[in-house]
Amino acid sequence: MKVERNLPQHVKYWLSATSKNDCFFVLKSELGHTVRIGAMKVFLCAYSEPLRNMLENSELAEQNDVKIEDVEAGTFWTFLKCLYGGSDFVIPKLSCEESISLLYVMEKYLVTEIKPKVVFHILQLLPLVFENIFSTMSSQVCFLDESLEEAIMEIVALKTKEIFTSELFLQLSSVSVLRIVKADYLNTSETDVWDAVVKWARHTAESGDGKVLRNLLRPHLKFIRICTFSCEDFCRKVVSTDILTCEEVNEISKYFGTGIAPQLEFICDSTYPRCNAVTEKTFYHIVNDISELKSIGYKSQSFTFVNYSWNILVQKRDDNLALFVACNGNSDDLTWKTNINAEISLVNQERDQNFSRRFTHCFCNDEDDWGWKNFLTWDVLTDGYVKDNTIIVKVHLKIDSNQKEID
């Protein structure tokens, strides 16, 4: 495997010191070729208990090679670079799909020290390219992390129409589609949900037969709110597919006359539309090494709210702590705008007395950030706001219909 020249010196040394390798792994490359990768047992055992058990306390310790079926050779090589001390250099350069593959390895071998860095990177990449939502939706490992799951489902909720009309939606697994229809909020009509899921089923089953589609959609039917359809839409869109049984069609038809929700095993009995869109949300940004903060400052990981990507900006300006909220907007539409009511707080880590300031601002292409150059004087930080050279910034955003600005 190739050792890049621009890796840190110590990482290049460990990767190149093949004479020191005392365990070997056999994997497949992207092209299907068999690749044998050597590694130093001490690094693997130090980071991973499963690898420690595999290499020290089992029969595998006596064997020359360890065969790994579910990890591609390039991903395992990246994994070694991280274990050898190159994670801060390697991870930021990975694509979304490469990061997801690396996250799988980190989860597989319980490398808890480096895994958060991979999650952080995926969270940054997720809102940048639309196709990333399909990469993450297709990977079970992304849903093992609470912050990733929340970010993924928020984008699903806000960009439902774009997801349903994308050809990539048709490639999703049944589990991924089920996650979508189980969401409390989707930014589209319930009839659009039905149309998209039926289209997906026809593509997946390569059939338009109602019985075939029903077998595929049985888990999903329980979460599509058919009882919120109009009687006309129910007959035109649902009955015509032959997916529902005669009993189900009859019971739902009775509902339109009586208003009493049907009690059917495979049909959603909710008569209420999905919840309203998320109109407010709170985010946190932890700033380490605050004593080293300069005017260039720190930029938080990206987070998603009202269909846009946001960041928290932290700087030191003269003798003041400067805090800003920045919206990345829509590069394809320079007329974008969103009215936001915001509260920025500096968390007091010694007592329950956070320092907060509020503003309302219309974020747009010309004014995409807002905040304070003098949020708090620097000497006040010592009054409980700094702990272990770290501060915590809390930002609460809420959709606001007004355009009045408060400073």
Terminal-to-terminal C-alpha distance of the chain: 56
Query: Is there a domain that residue 139 lies in?
Result: no
Query: Does the pLDDT of residue 59 top 60, yes or no?
Result: no
The CATH number of whichever domain residue 187 belongs to comes to 1.25.40
Query: Is there a domain that residue 204 lies in?
Result: yes
- Considering the domain architecture, whether residues 330 and 297 belong to the same structural domain is answered as yes
Among 258, 289, 323, give the residue marking a domain's end.
258
- Considering the domain architecture, whether residues 74 and 154 belong to the same structural domain is answered as no
- Considering the domain architecture, whether residues 83 and 158 belong to the same structural domain is answered as no
The CATH number of whichever domain residue 327 belongs to comes to 2.60.210.10
Span 210-227, mean pLDDT? 95
- Considering the domain architecture, whether residues 20 and 112 belong to the same structural domain is answered as yes
For residues 279 and 390, which has the higher predicted lDDT (pLDDT)? Answer: 390
- Considering the domain architecture, whether residues 70 and 160 belong to the same structural domain is answered as no
Query: Is there a domain that residue 134 lies in?
Result: no
Query: Is there a domain that residue 264 lies in?
Result: no
- Considering the domain architecture, whether residues 308 and 210 belong to the same structural domain is answered as no
**13 Cβ partners below 8 Å, 6+ apart?**
none
The CATH number of whichever domain residue 88 belongs to comes to 3.30.710.10
- Considering the domain architecture, whether residues 118 and 172 belong to the same structural domain is answered as no
Query: Does the pLDDT of residue 295 top 90, yes or no?
Result: no
**331 Cβ partners below 8 Å, 6+ apart?**
none
Where does the pLDDT of residue 405 fall: very low under 50, low under 70, confident under 90, or very high at 90 and above? Answer: very low
- Considering the domain architecture, whether residues 155 and 237 belong to the same structural domain is answered as yes
Query: Is there a domain that residue 117 lies in?
Result: yes
pLDDT in the model for residue 57: 63
- Considering the domain architecture, whether residues 286 and 382 belong to the same structural domain is answered as yes
Query: Does the pLDDT of residue 185 top 70, yes or no?
Result: yes
- Domain count of the fold of the chain: 3
- Report CA 218 to chain centroid distance, whole Å: 27
Domain span including residue 201: 150-258
Query: Is there a domain that residue 190 lies in?
Result: yes
pLDDT in the model for residue 277: 59
SS3 7: coil
Query: Is there a domain that residue 143 lies in?
Result: no
- Considering the domain architecture, whether residues 246 and 299 belong to the same structural domain is answered as no
Where does the pLDDT of residue 271 fall: very low under 50, low under 70, confident under 90, or very high at 90 and above? Answer: confident
Query: Is there a domain that residue 268 lies in?
Result: no
- Considering the domain architecture, whether residues 71 and 178 belong to the same structural domain is answered as no
Is the distance from CB of 405 to CB of 359 less than 8 angstroms? yes
- Considering the domain architecture, whether residues 165 and 59 belong to the same structural domain is answered as no
